[in-house]
Each structure stands twice: as C-alpha cells, then as structure tokens.
Amino acid sequence: MSVPTISVVGLGFSYPDGTSALNDVELHIHPGEHVALLGPNGAGKTTLILHMNGIHMPQRGTVAVSGLQLSDDNVMEIRRRVGIVFQDPDDQLFMPTVRDDVEFGPRNLGLTGPDLEMRVQSALEVMEVADLANRPPNHLSFGQKRRVAIAGVLAMQPSILVLDEPTSNLDPASRRELGEALSSLDTTQLIVTHDLPFAYEMCARAVVMDGGSIVASGPTEEILSDGELLRQHRLELPYGFAIRDRN
C-alpha cells in the first residue's frame, strides 16, 4: 500500500467558543485518488480542509501529507504540498494580470527564468487559460477566474489539490469545461461539493461528513444510491437524476 497523500488520524478541533467542529476524524487519501467530501452545511468539511495546509493546527490527533506530519516547524512545506482552491476565486486572484497571478506562488519559491516560465505555461495550458495570460483577472468571467485560480495552485506542483465547491456559480458549459480540465490531471484530488452529480462524475470514492465526524465512506456510486443515508445527512440528488451502471 502506498504512503497516503493525506493521512488524518484522530483529528479533533474546537473553536474558542467551545463549539466542537471535528470529532476523531480519520481520513486517508492515496496517490492518484479523486475523492468527494460530502455533507450538509456545518458538517465540518471546511474546518477539515483548513487543517490540511495548516491554516488550522490540530488540537488532537495528526495530519500528514505524503508522510510529513503537520507541525509549526514544517507548515510552509505542507502548504506547498497541499493546494487549496477556495470557493470564491476573488479570494486568490489579486495581481495585475493572469500570468502574474499564476507566477506568484512559484516565484516566491525562488523559481526564475526558464524554470518559472515552463511551470507557469504548463499550468495555464492544462487549465485552458493560456490565451488569457495578459488579461486582468477582474475582467474575466467567473468560470475563467476559477480556472485561473486552479492554474495558480497547480503551478506550485502540489501533492494534492483540494477544491472547495468548485462548481458553485458556474453555468453548465463552464461546469463541463472545469470537469474536463480536472479529469485530465494526474494530481490527487479532494473535492468538497454539494453538487452530487459532479461528485459522481469526478470521484470514484465519496466520504460523508456530518456533525464533525465521518459517517460514511465508499464507492461514490454506492454512497449516492443509498437514499436513506442521503436523507439522514441532508444530501439530495437533483430531481430525475439516475445513477448509471458504470460497467
């Protein structure tokens, strides 16, 4: 068995007001996996992913990325390995041009010259935004901004790409284009989403969180076929959507 890209063991976390957000969470994601993280609002999903790159530090339990355990001493290396794409791309885009934004991370790692150019151009091309390189991000559509934000994270060459509600506010064509781009990546992915059809299309495995705990984990097809499980945790497939036989 490979060393997990993400290993979360016995993770517990409470906010200063005493609210318990995570309770003994166990999660292992292996290289190359695409995993959907599902659950109602307030389930603890965002709190969990903010532990994966040290925005929150564990109060109980451990988080490790490719075998490196998160601590104050190595939080910067953990953040290089874990690329988080937040729900609102405007939280991540702040430079004058698209190219400047995608360059920002690797340039701060010390990359220059041809190495920097190769890294940036590859990320722009894989997200199909190379033609936007000289455009100001604030002149882009929401879907274009999201792909640029992902390109900026990919330019850091992370071990895992964590996407928070990647399809929110996207029209159907932009949603399809994003799915095609993400499917083309070899990078391990954790996709936090309420878009259950997107989870089904993109991820072979799904994990359900509720009340700060993981309540189910298994093949996405089985998770989404369990009507009682979905009802218990306020998850709903769109009316008329049917799980297809993948075989």
Q: Which residues of 147-176 are buried (b: 16+ CB within 10 A; e: fewer)?
A: bbbbbbbbbbbbbbbbbbbbbeebeeebbe
CB 44 within 8 A of CB 21: yes
CA distance linking residue 42 with residue 21, whole number of Å: 8
pLDDT of residue 73: 94
Q: How many CB atoms lie within 10 A of CB 49?
A: 21
User: What does the domain layout of the chain look like in residue ranges?
Assistant: 6-232
CA distance linking residue 188 with residue 154, whole number of Å: 11
Would you say the pTM of this structure is higher than 0.85? Answer: yes
| Strand 188-192 relative to strand 34-38, pairing | parallel
Torsion sign (Cα): 40, 46, 52, 57? negative
Q: Report residue 246's pLDDT band, with 50, 70 and 90 as the boundaries.
A: low
As its CATH architecture, domain 6-232 has 3-Layer(aba) Sandwich (3.40)
Give all strands (DSSP E) within 66-167, no chain letters: 68-69, 82-85, 160-164
pLDDT of residue 240: 78
- Note the pLDDT tens digit of each residue in 200-241: 999 999 999 999 999 999 999 999 999 999 999 999 999 878
- Note the pLDDT tens digit of each residue in 173-203: 999 999 999 999 999 999 999 999 999 999 9
Q: Report residue 100's pLDDT band, with 50, 70 and 90 as the boundaries.
A: very high
List the end-to-end C-alpha distance of the chain, in Å, as a whole number: 26
